[in-house]
Structure 1
Amino acid sequence: METKNTTPEKVHTSVLLKEVIDWIAPKPGGLYLDGTLGMGGHSSAILEAAGEGAQLIGLDRDEQALDLAEVRLAPFEDRAHRFHLAFSKFEEALNEMGWEKIDGVILDLGVSSLHLDRAERGFSFAKDGPLDMRMDPSGGMPPASSIVNKASYSDLVRIIKMYGEEPLGSKIASAIIKAREIKKITTTLELAAIVSKTYPAKRRALSRTHPATRTFQGLRIAVNSELEELKKFLHRIPERLNPGARVAVISFHSLEDRIVKRSFRDESKECDCLPMQPVCTCGNKQRMNVLTKKPILPTEEEMEVNPRSRSAKLRVAERSQEKK
C-alpha cells in the first residue's frame, strides 16, 4: 500500500501490553494478526518479542492510524504488513499475503487517543468538533450527526439505552428530538450540552464521568457497527488459527466483554444441544479452549500511568488441537 512518512504527535501507550505478550507468547517465524493496529504499540511489541523471521499483518479502518503505525513499525521493515481494512475483513489480508493459518491474534477494542485527542474526528464530548465519530471517514458510512438529526425516537432510545447502556436513554432521546426541531445538531459540544441538561443536578454532581459519556459511546458503536464487526470476527477467526494459536481481546465496556466471553465459551463446547436431548444433532465441534476464566485487569501501576486503561479487560482463548 502507499505509505507516508508521518511522525506520531506523541508516544501512544498500549493497554495491557506485557500481559498480551505473555499470553500470545510470540515465537521466531510465527505469523500474527493485529486486527486493531492503531499506532502499532502491540504490533511492534509482538514482532520484537517473536524475533527472527516472524511476520505480522496489521489492520485498521483509520488511514491516519496506518500512517502513524508505519513510523513505529519501520525497524521491522518487510516483516510488518499494513492493510486499510476493518478487522471483520481479516481474511482478505490473509489471502493477499498467502497465509492459510496464523499463530496469534490481538484485538484492542478501545478508542485510541488519535481519535479522542483530535477534535475534528468528533469522538470527544470535551472538544468542540463536527459530530462525526467514523473510524473510517472514507468508508461511505454516515456520520453521527446523521443519526442524531434523522433517527426516530425509538431508534435513538435503542442506540442510547442498548449501545450506550444509559438509563436515561428515553429522556435524552426526547431532549435531542426537541433540540433538533429548533436547530440542527452539528457539533460535539452542542450534543454534550443537550445531554448534560437532561441529568438532574444531584446526579451530575455525584457522577464520576461526564453525563454525555454513555450517549457518545452508543452513537459511536452504532456509527461504526462495532458489535456486529466483533461478532463476525470471533465467529470466523478460529478457522484461520494453527492449533495452539491464541486470540487476545481487550474490551472496554460490558457489551463487548459479554460478546467475547460468550463467543469463547460457545467455541469451547463440543455439543450445543439441550441437555435432555439423547442424540447430538447440532454438529457443533469444539474449536477453542478458554484460557482466562475471569478477565485480566490492568495493574494499579498501569492505571496510574495510563488512566484510559482503567476499564480494560483482557480475555484469551486458544485454538484447540484438531481431532482426527
Structure 2
Amino acid sequence: MDNAWTHTTVLLGEAVDALLGSADTTGPSPAPAVYVDATFGRGGHSRLILSRLAADARLIAFDKDPDALAEAASITDPRFSIRHQGFRHLDELPEASVAGVLLDLGISSPQVDNPARGFSFRFEGPLDMRMDTTRGTSVAQWLAHAEVDQITEVIRDYGEERFAGPIAKAIVARRQARGPLVSTTELAQLVADTVKTREPGQNPATRTFQAFRIFINAELEELQQALDGALKVLQPGGRLVVISFHSLEDRIVKQFITQHAKEVYDRRAPFAAPQVMHLKALGRTRPGAAEVAANPRARSAIMRVAERTAEPIRGHA
C-alpha cells in the first residue's frame, strides 16, 4: 500500500467518547463488550477505541476498500478483527450483541488524494470512484451506456445539482461524438464548460462528482441498511454514533433517529399501548473552530449520537 496519502480523522476524541459513553472499559465485565467500527478507513477511530477497551473486549471493523484492509493488517491487537465488507452487512452480527456502533461516512482523504481512485476532479485519473476496486462497475463503465434520463436523475438526486439536465445531455453528446468519458479531468472539464454559474469557491464539478460517487457505491441505500442493522445488533444501552459530511447522509441519519426515538400510536387502535421507542437521541456535535482550521475537510461534519433503549425491538426487521 502507498503511504503517500494521509488521513486526519474527524471528531476523533468526540466520537470515541460518545461511542464508549459511561461504560466501564477498564476492567472485565460479565459479558465481554463488543464494539464495531463500521468504517475502518485508515484506522484512526479503531486505534483510539482499542487503547481504551478492556483486555477481554473486542472490536470488529468493516471496510470495502482493499487499501483499508492493507492498513488494518498493521494492527496486531488480538482483540481486533476486520471484515472485507460494507457496513450493510452489520445485521449479520448476532442480535443485541454489540455495545456500540460507529459509522464515519463518506470518503477518506487517501481515497480523494490518490489520482488512481478517480474520486477527485483535481487530479488526472481513471473515472472509477468505486470504494471496493475488486468488484462492481466504475463510473466510466456506467456512463458509457447510461441514458440521458438516468444520468439526469442521478446528478439531480444525489448531487442536488440544478444543472443536472444540461450536464447529462453534454455527457451523452460527447459519447456520441468522440466516445465515452474515461478520465476525471475529462468529466470535470465537460461540467465546467456546461455549468456557467456556481457558488463562489466551489468547483463546478463538485456536485456531479459527489452524485456519481454516491450512486456507483449505492451509499445512501447502504446507509439505510446499516442503520437498520445497527438497531438490530445493539444491546440495551448500546451507542450509535454517526458522522456524516453532506445533507443527504445527515437527513437519513436524523430521520432514522427521530423515527425510533418516539412512541408510535396506532390510529386504528387509539386505546392500545403505543409501540415503544427503540432509541434515545443524545444530540449532535460539530467540529470546533480549531479542528476546522487544522483540517478544512472537517467543516461539513455532523455527528449524531443515540442510545439503544432497554425495550425489545418487537418485530423490527
TM-score between the two structures when normalised by the length of structure 1: 0.88
Q: Is the 8 A contact 2:287 2:298 kept in 1?
A: yes
Alpha-carbon distance between aligned partners in 1 of 2:231 and 2:35, rounded to the nearest angstrom? 13
Deviations 1:237-294 (A, max 9, x none): 21211111101001111110000000111111221545x962559x8432111111xx
CA deviation map 1:158-197 (0-9, x unaligned): 1001101111111111111111111211111000000011
Alignment partners' CA distance in 2, 1:240 and 1:136:
25
CA RMSD of aligned residues (A): 2.1
**Aligned 1:293-312 pairs, distance under 5 A:** 295-312=284-301
Choose the corresponding residue for 1:33, options 36, 56, 60.
36
Select which of 278, 299, 321 maps to 2:310: 321
What CA deviation, in whole Å up to 9, does each residue of 1:125-170 have, x standing for no partner? 111111111111222x211012222111111111001101111111
State the AA in 2 paired with 1:236: G
1:1-324 to 2 correspondence within 5 Å? Answer: 8-9=3-4, 11-25=6-20, 27-28=25-26, 29-71=32-74, 73-74=75-76, 77-92=77-92, 94=93, 101-139=97-135, 141-183=136-178, 184-200=180-196, 203-204=197-198, 207-271=200-264, 273-274=266-267, 278-279=270-271, 284-292=275-283, 295-322=284-311
Say how many residue pairs are matched. Answer: 304
Structure 2 unaligned spans of 5+ = 27-31
User: Residue 73 of structure 2 aligns to a residue in which SS?
Assistant: helix
- Give the Å deviation of 1:100: 5.5
Aligned residue identity for 2:219: E
Preserved CA contact (<8 Å) 2:231 2:308: yes
Give secondary structure in 2 for the equivalent of 1:318: strand
In structure 1, the residue matched to 2:29 is none
Is the 8 Å Cα contact of residues 65 and 114 (structure 1) preserved in structure 2? no
1:9 CA drift (Å): 3.4
Q: Report what 1:3 is aligned to.
A: none
CA distance in 1, matches of 2:116, 2:266: 50
Letter in 1 for 2:292: M
Query: Helix, strand or coil: the match of 1:209?
Result: coil
Paired AA for residue 247 in structure 2: S
Deviations along 1:200-223, one digit per CA (max 9) or x if unpaired, are 2xx34x522111010010001110
Identity %: 40
Alpha-carbon distance, 1:322 to partner: 2.2
1:150 alignment partner, SS class = coil
Q: 1: distance between equivalents of 2:128 and 2:169?
A: 21
1:243/1:64 Cα in 2 relative to 1: closer, same or farther (>3 Å)? Answer: same
For 1:81 and 1:132, locate their aligned partners in 2 and report how far apart those are by CA, in whole Å.
28
Deviations 1:33-68 (A, max 9, x none): 011101110111111122432210010001111111
SS across alignment from 1:166: coil
Matching residue's letter, 2:50: L
Residue type of the partner of 2:302? K
Verify the 8 A CA contact 2:18 2:239 in the aligned structure 1: yes
Q: Secondary structure at the match of 2:285?
A: coil
Q: Is the 8 A contact 1:109 1:252 kept in 2?
A: yes
Q: 1: CA distance between counterparts of 2:156 and 2:5?
A: 35
SS class of match (1:21): helix
